[in-house]
Structure 1
């Protein structure tokens, strides 16, 4: 990610996943903090949302 637009794009993509409660993406570190209900969504769905936004997931 290189700009505020990138952050907004990733945040929006993650927030649109059912079961996600809160998302905060840090541009400087390139990391996302996601609060979600694991009974409603699997981690793989969150990773998929990030990839669909055009970014890679690094664990």
Structure 2
């Protein structure tokens, strides 16, 4: 989990998941730094994936892959706790 101490309420509001996205919650994603860490980890390890991570809604959406178990493993490896199930 993040220790950057920049946990303000200024994060952008979620606009919904893109069509065909795998979406899930990460309750311990608390700020933009956390969102950036998750986004980078997934995009670095799954080339071609595009990630949207919104700390305000705790929602992560991934387009470009259908391997939910790989995504969960990557998020866990980055130090966060993805929900066990997809959203939506």
With structure 2 as the length reference, what TM-score do the two structures score? 0.57
Q: For the pair shown, which has the larger CA radius of gyration, 1 or 2?
A: 2
What is the match of residue 44 of structure 1? 69
Q: C-alpha displacement at 1:17, in angstroms?
A: 2.2
How many matched pairs?
56
RCO comparison, higher one (Cα < 8 Å, 6+): 2
Runs of 4+ off more than 6 Å: none
Q: CA RMSD in A?
A: 1.4
Q: Pairwise mapping of residues 9-24 of structure 1 onto structure 2 (< 5 A)? A: 9-24=37-52
Assess if the C-alpha contact under 8 Å between 2:32 and 2:55 holds in 1: yes
User: Whose helix proportion is higher, 1 or 2?
Assistant: 1
Gaps of 5+ in 2: 1-28
Gaps of 5+ in 1: none
Q: C-alpha displacement at 1:20, in angstroms?
A: 4.0
User: Whose strand proportion is higher, 1 or 2?
Assistant: 1
With structure 1 as the length reference, what TM-score do the two structures score? 0.80
